[in-house]
């Protein structure tokens, strides 16, 4: 009896302990689910608040947009238009301006953006010496600064023969005059590419003197012709200005002249009529007298 009675309370205790553990686990699980549900509710509320703020931001009037942002957008949308100026040379290599016609700072209509290199036809024809005297002449190749970026090749031209390449490779060549005229050619190369070619004629001393003596006569004739042309143009301009200023007097003068011309023409026509009537009257009078005599005889 004691043994059985002692075993029963132990079993009861084990059962009660097991029930308590199960109850504790269930309560903990319920608390966790409640916490998760509350977190989800807070997240939903925060998301709804964010959506409301976004809607409020989108509903802001355009007047509240910062002016700086508008200026940045306008600067980005401006289309810059560019045009190029005239090249400084008609052949070879030179410079030209790059001009901006839209989007200049300060509201200017046009502004120079930069200066860039430009090129024309390679053949520059026959050039003139930089300086010359009765003993020598200085010739220069076509180039722009810096000159050391180019390579120069001087040639002596001979009729019906191959050109002779000279040792001088600089941009300037000084030539002494000889008994016969000489022709030279200079090729300007940029990275082994021909960009300009010019030729020169170096005359003899006698030919140079003859050209210098004959040139002033030609220059004098040109100066005289140009002077006469300018004087005639100025005279015509003054006459036109006088006519425009005194247009009423000119109109009256031409009207009076035209009226006198008409009067002279009328008087000449009347004189012509009188002369014709006088020429016809002698033939008419004898006829009338004969008629009167015949009537008297009857």
Single residue among 138, 169, 203 that ends a domain in this structure: 203
Whether 75 maps to a domain, the answer reads no
Clarify whether residues 90 and 128 are in a common domain: no
Q: What's the structural domain count of the chain? A: 2
Clarify whether residues 170 and 101 are in a common domain: no
* pLDDT digits 0-9 by tens, 16-72: 776 776 666 665 555 544 444 454 444 445 555 555 554 554 444 444 444 455 555
Q: Which of 152, 139, 131, 134 is nearest to 201 (CA)?
A: 139
Find how far residue 295's CA is from the centre of its chain.
105
Clarify whether residues 103 and 171 are in a common domain: no
Residues 250 and 241: beta-carbon distance below 8 Å: no
Single residue among 176, 203, 230 that ends a domain in this structure: 203
Q: Which two tokens stand for residue 170?
A: 């600089």
Those residues whose C-beta lies under 8 Å from the C-beta of residue 116, and which sit 6 or more positions away, are: 95, 96, 98
Whether 183 maps to a domain, the answer reads yes
Whether 210 maps to a domain, the answer reads no
Clarify whether residues 146 and 187 are in a common domain: yes
Clarify whether residues 88 and 157 are in a common domain: no
* pLDDT digits 0-9 by tens, 132-162: 898 999 999 999 989 899 999 999 999 889 9
Clarify whether residues 181 and 144 are in a common domain: yes
Find how far residue 145's CA is from the centre of its chain.
25
Clarify whether residues 103 and 158 are in a common domain: no
Single residue among 155, 172, 203 that ends a domain in this structure: 203
Whether 169 maps to a domain, the answer reads yes
Which CATH number fits the domain that encloses residue 179? 2.60.40.10
Clarify whether residues 189 and 127 are in a common domain: yes
CA dist 168 and 164 (Å) reads 12
Whether 99 maps to a domain, the answer reads yes
Domain housing 101: 82-119
Whether 296 maps to a domain, the answer reads no
Q: Which two tokens stand for residue 141?
A: 């190749």
Whether 155 maps to a domain, the answer reads yes
Choice among 99-103, 191-195, 223-227, 267-271 with the minimum mean pLDDT: 267-271
Choice among 43-52, 119-128, 130-139, 188-197 with the minimum mean pLDDT: 43-52
Q: Strand pairing of 193-202 and 136-140?
A: unpaired
Q: Where does the chain have alpha helices with state H?
A: 2-58, 67-77, 205-245, 247-297
User: What average pLDDT does this structure show over 200-214?
Assistant: 86
pTM comes to 0.47
CA dist 158 and 209 (Å) reads 24
Clarify whether residues 179 and 151 are in a common domain: yes
Clarify whether residues 89 and 151 are in a common domain: no
Whether 50 maps to a domain, the answer reads no
């Amino acid at each position: 009896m004691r043994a059985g009675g002692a075993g029963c309370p132990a079993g009861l205790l084990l059962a009660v302990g097991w029930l308590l553990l199960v109850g504790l686990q269930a309560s903990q699980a319920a608390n966790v689910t409640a916490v998760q549900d509350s977190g989800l509710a807070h997240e939903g509320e925060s998301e709804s608040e964010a959506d409301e703020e976004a809607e409020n931001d989108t509903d802001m009037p355009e007047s509240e947009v910062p002016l700086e942002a508008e200026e940045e957008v306008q600067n980005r949308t401006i289309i810059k238009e560019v045009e190029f100026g005239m090249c400084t040379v008609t052949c070879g290599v030179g410079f030209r301006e790059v001009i901006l016609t839209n989007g200049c700072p300060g509201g200017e209509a046009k502004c120079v953006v930069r200066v860039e290199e430009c090129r024309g036809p390679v053949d520059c024809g026959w050039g003139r010496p930089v300086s010359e005297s009765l003993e020598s002449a200085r010739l220069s190749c076509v180039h722009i600064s810096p000159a050391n970026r180019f390579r120069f090749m001087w040639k002596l031209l001979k009729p019906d023969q191959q050109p002779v390449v000279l040792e001088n490779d600089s941009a300037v060549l000084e030539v002494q005059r000889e008994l016969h005229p000489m022709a030279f050619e200079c090729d300007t190369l940029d990275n082994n590419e021909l960009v300009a070619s010019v030729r020169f004629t170096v005359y003899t001393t006698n030919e140079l003197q003859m050209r210098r003596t004959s040139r002033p006569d030609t220059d004098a004739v040109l100066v005289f012709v140009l002077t006469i042309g300018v004087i005639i143009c100025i005279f015509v301009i003054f006459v036109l200005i006088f006519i425009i200023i005194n247009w009423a007097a000119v109109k009256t003068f031409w009207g009076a002249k035209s009226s006198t011309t008409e009067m002279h023409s009328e008087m000449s026509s009347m004189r012509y009529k009188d002369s014709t009537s006088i020429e016809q009257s002698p033939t008419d009078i004898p006829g009338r007298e004969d008629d009167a005599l015949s009537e008297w005889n009857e």
